[in-house]
Each structure stands twice: as structure tokens, then as C-alpha cells.
Structure 1
Amino acid sequence: MNTPRKEVSNQTINTAGLSKFFASIYSYMAVGLTITGITAFYASQSAFILNLVFGTRFGFLGFFIAEIALVMKLSANGAKLKSAGASIVGFIAFALINGITLSSIFLMYDLGSIGAAFISTAASFAGMSIVGFTTKKDLTSLGGQLRGALIGLIIAMLVNGFFLQSGPADMVLSFITVVIFIGFTAYDTQKLKELYVHYSGEQNLGALAISGALNLYLDFINIFLGLLRIFGGGRD
């Protein structure tokens, strides 16, 4: 969603309203991460689900397409400032589907590595979200650079076989993934603050909060997966 940039200052922001807006964003995000984590763990214990997703040629692709469709729908709802009710079901569905597609991490990595990666991700995410919320620097240009870097990363991942091969290239691509999405965390946080300023006169910001939670959720997940690939200890 593109909006004219407004100078974000204490004079132009309803502080209480902004705090409530971000509290709802982080609450939705936390619920999404919880649903994804629980779903991933239990899906990893189900031979039926694992076979459905990873045992067929088009299983994973079907789930991936469903995720893309939900992301587009939630983003559209946010842009149209629909009510939270129009988006919350879609957000929960996305978190469930993503949990299923991430179930393989419980087969590839031990719980200690997953926990350590999660804690490191939480610390990195919190730090950069604070930076994005408090900085006076306009991060608009950073967003364009990050999107360009992300396109390059996707191409490199395709060439490298979606990280299915082990080696130094995997570590480099994982490190780049972490850097890109740490940057996106600061950028997305500032963007959400600016969107609140732009639409603060509107009565209905529920879907906007959920689409914002989805963006930050995706930043968190990608940082987590990158750190897990770098530092994670595989199962024996």
C-alpha cells in the first residue's frame, strides 16, 4: 500500500491510538506464530500430513499457492480498510497452512537448535522493530533496496536448488536472508506507523492491523529459518 509520507512526530500522532494499533498488530502476530509453531510440531508427528505435503509432486506447491492467495487477500483487505472480521479467518488459515509446510524443521533439526534460533530471532526482531518505530530517518528508499535484494535472493535460491544442497553457498544465502528480513522488520514497522498517521481518522483499521501483523510475521519467520539453517544442529 503506497501512501504519501507524513512527518511522524509526537505532535501528529495520537499516542494512545498508536499504542493500541501496534498492540493489536503484535497480538495478532503472536497468535499467528503460536498457531504456526503448534501446527508444525503436531504435523511433524503425522505420517499422513507429511506424505500429503512432501510425498507428492504437487503437494507442497498446492500449499504454497494457497499461502500466496491468502497473502494477497489479506493485503487487499488491509488496503480497503475492511473490518478485522474480514481478515482474521484468513490470517488463521495462513498460519495453519504455513505451520504444515514448516513441519519438516522438526524432522531436520533438534529442539535445542529450534529453540535457540527462535530466541535469537525474537531478540533481533524486537531490536529492529524498535529501531523502525523510533528512528526519524526515512526508510522508504531502504524498502526499494530490500525488495531488489529479495528478488536477487530468490533467483539465487532457485539456482541453488531451494537450499536442498549443503555447502558454503547455503550458508551465504541463509545469512543474506537474515540480513534482508532484519532490514524489512525496521522498514515494515516504520511503514505501519506512517499508515496509522495517514489513516488515523478512519474508524476501521482492523484489517490494516492484520495485514501489518502478517508482514511482520513473515519477517520473523524468514529470520528464524535463516538463523536455523546457519546455526541449527541437524538430528543425528
Structure 2
Amino acid sequence: MEHQTIYSVEQERGLNRFVARTFLWMMIGLAISTLSAYMLLKTKVLFYHIVSNSFFYYGIFMIEIMLAYSLRINLEKIENKMSYIVKFIVYSILTGVTFAVVGALYEPMSIVYALVSTIPLFAMLAIYGYTTNRDLTKIGTIARPIMIGLIISILMNGLLFKSNFIELMISIVVLLIFSGLTAYDMQKIKAVYLYFENQPHVHNSLIVSCALELYLDFINMFISVLNIFGKLKD
């Protein structure tokens, strides 16, 4: 009985360290994206060429999707730490293009309000996912096909229809989906740690992969809130 109690305490400490490092990498990704956006906005000619060419802009979007997919946790084959880190950094830099567009289109106060609104929402959902005993697996199962439909809708609207109404509807669905995924991903992070608890050599790779999941949740929620409630520059 005493051994079990000690093991549980150590397990809890290990999980807390794992989650803390995951959030640290998430913050590193956000910092890289913000810096990338700032540098791109300072280089106005390059920024103009990127956003004025829809196929180039959405090409970057597709590269991001492929990178995100390659960073998913594969239980049968976990790549080395550096592979995950390089992909994560490249992904964060490319996401800076989206950040730059946001910075160019929206009023600064709208960006601040969207950020201030997203942070507590994200935090509450993450805490719920971390603490609840309810199985949230269904959220992940339901979200996957919806996300495929959303990607197709985003590409079609961006390249063909260019409808503000469709963009608004997409943003509402994205906000709902990634709100659910935030709770689901936090619960999944706990499950991932417990599954690989006795394999510390893969923890660094798993931390980066899990950080990307939370990074995606936060970014998509933030941009959706901004698209729904934000005010465009005159």
C-alpha cells in the first residue's frame, strides 16, 4: 500500500512536469509565430506578394496542414526529438504569415480584445479536460471528419467564392470545434504520458507533438473569435 502511494505521487509529479513542458513549447511556438509575423510586416514587399497571390497563400496553408499531420503522435513509430522540433519551428514560422494578415487587416484593439477573450476560454477548457473523469474521446472522433470538411470549405471560399458570410459561418464552426478539442487534447496529453510513462527517451518528442495540438487549438480559437467579433481597419 505504501509503495502504491509513493508511485502515485511520483506519477503525478511526472505528469505535471510533462504538461508544464508541453505548455512551455506551446508558448515558444506562439512567440516564434509572433516574431515571424512582425518580420514579415516589416518587409512590406514580401508581405504584399504573399497575400496578393491566393494560390501562394493557400499553398502555405496546405504545407502547414501537412506539417501538422507529420507531427501527430504515431504510437508505432516516434521520430527523434530534433525532427519534431525542426518541424514545429517551421510550422510556427509559417503560421506567422496568418498572424501578419491578422495584424494588417484588423484594428489593434480588436486583436487585443480577441486575445483577452480567448485566453480565459482556452484556460477553462484546458483545465476541464485535465481534471474531468468524463471520457472525451467522442469529441476527437466527431471533430476529425468535420475538420476535413472545414479545410475544403476554407480553400473553396478563399479561392473561389470569397464570401464574407461563408467565412463567418466557418469561423463559428471552427470556434466550436476547437473549443471541444482543447478539452479533448488536454485529456489526451494525460493519456499519452501514462502510456509512455516508462519510456522517458521519447518524452521530448511527445512534448513537442502535444504542444502543437494545444498551439493549434489556441490559434484557431483566437482567429475565429477575431473573425466573428473583430473590426477591420478602414
> Could you say if the C-alpha distance between residues 60 and 160 of structure 1 is closer, same or farther in structure 2, counting changes exceeding 3 Å?
closer
Q: What's 2:56 paired with?
A: 59
Q: Report sequence identity in percent.
A: 35
Secondary structure in 2 matching 1:80: coil
For 1:155 and 1:90, locate their aligned partners in 2 and report how far apart those are by CA, in whole Å.
23
Aligned counterpart in structure 1 of residue 223 of structure 2, from 207, 222, 225: 225
Q: TM-score, normalised by structure 1?
A: 0.85
1:78-110 deviation digits (Å, cap 9, x = unpaired): 863444333212211110111024311111101
Secondary structure in 2 matching 1:222: helix
Where is the helix percentage greater, Structure 1 or Structure 2? Answer: 2
CA contact (8 A) 1:181 1:219 kept: yes
> Could you say if the C-alpha distance between residues 77 and 91 of structure 1 is closer, same or farther in structure 2, counting changes exceeding 3 Å?
farther
Aligned counterpart in structure 1 of residue 100 of structure 2, from 99, 103, 108: 103
1:191 aligned partner, one-letter code: K
2:196 aligned partner, one-letter code: Y
Calculate the aligned-residue CA RMSD, in Å.
2.4
Q: Unpaired segments of 5 or more residues in structure 1?
A: 1-9
CA contact (8 A) 2:54 2:158 kept: no
Secondary structure in 1 matching 2:42: coil
1:228 aligned partner, one-letter code: L
Instruction: Report the number of matched residues.
Output: 226
Aligned counterpart in structure 2 of residue 212 of structure 1, from 205, 210, 213: 210
2:232 aligned partner, one-letter code: G
Q: TM-score, normalised by structure 2?
A: 0.86
Deviation at 1:188, TM superposition (A): 0.8
Secondary structure in 2 matching 1:104: helix
Q: Unpaired segments of 5 or more residues in structure 2?
A: 1-6
1:122-163 deviation digits (Å, cap 9, x = unpaired): 111111010110000111112111223323434444554478
The aligned runs of 1:17-96 (5 Å cut-off) are: 17-56=14-53, 58-75=55-72, 80-96=77-93
